[in-house]
Amino acid sequence: MGTVVEDGFGRGPLWIRVGFFGAAAFNIVGILTVSRLLSADLGRWDPLFDVWGCGLVVVWGLAYLSLAWRPFVLPWLAAVFMVEKIVYAVHFALWHARTNVAVETIAEADPLAASFLGGYGLGDAIFAVFFGYVWVSGLLGRPRGSRPPPADGTESGA
């Protein structure tokens, strides 16, 4: 399933690397766009996304990039990413259940912020499943569609 990519230690299907890049883009490009390069305070609607919170979303995105090239070297780091995404998805659900401000009201003031606050939890839930798959695959030894490391212990297998 997917194209196998030689990436040194943690060979795996290309779609997994693309998933890490997608998660990074979701965080970095997404939050920098919605927060207008961290100049708009989304925290006025959801305190989790004040300027510092938005900055930390970028840091998480950079962390995803750090593992994108060798996703199966540190499977427990993928587990950390999964937990982080679950925390954000749960926060999203709780915020929507408890907030007194409708997304429609936010849209009147800031349509971009409303689109983010109205849907980021779904993306986080999807990436939580993705990171969970990477974690379990890494623990089991290798993902579907990848090949085992070479018997001679070299990285290239050549």
Where do the structural domains in the chain lie, given as residue ranges? 13-140
Residue 5 DSSP code? E
Q: Summarize pLDDT for 91-127 with one digit per residue, the tens.
A: 999 999 998 778 888 999 999 999 999 999 999 999 9
Give the CA distances from residue 46 to residues 41, 42, 65, 149, in Å, rounded to whole numbers and listed in that order: 9, 6, 26, 46
C-alpha 49, offset from chain centre: 16
The whole-number pLDDT of residue 140 equals 87
| 12 φ/ψ sector (left φ>0, alpha ψ -120 to 50, else beta) | beta
pLDDT of residue 136 exceeding 60? yes
Query: pTM value?
Result: 0.81
pLDDT of residue 68 exceeding 50? yes
Residue 42 DSSP code? G
The whole-number pLDDT of residue 141 equals 77
Alpha helices of 35-145 — where are they, by DSSP H?
Answer: 51-68, 75-98, 103-109, 111-140
The whole-number pLDDT of residue 104 equals 87
Averaged pLDDT for residues 73-88:
95
Q: What crossing angle do the helices spanning 51-68 and 14-34 adopt, rounded to 10°?
A: 160
The whole-number pLDDT of residue 7 equals 45
Q: Burial, 48: exposed, middle or buried (Cβ in 10 Å; 0-12, 13-18, 19+)?
A: middle
Token pair for 146? 């990848």
C-alpha 133, offset from chain centre: 13
Q: Alpha-carbon distance 17 to 20, whole Å? A: 5
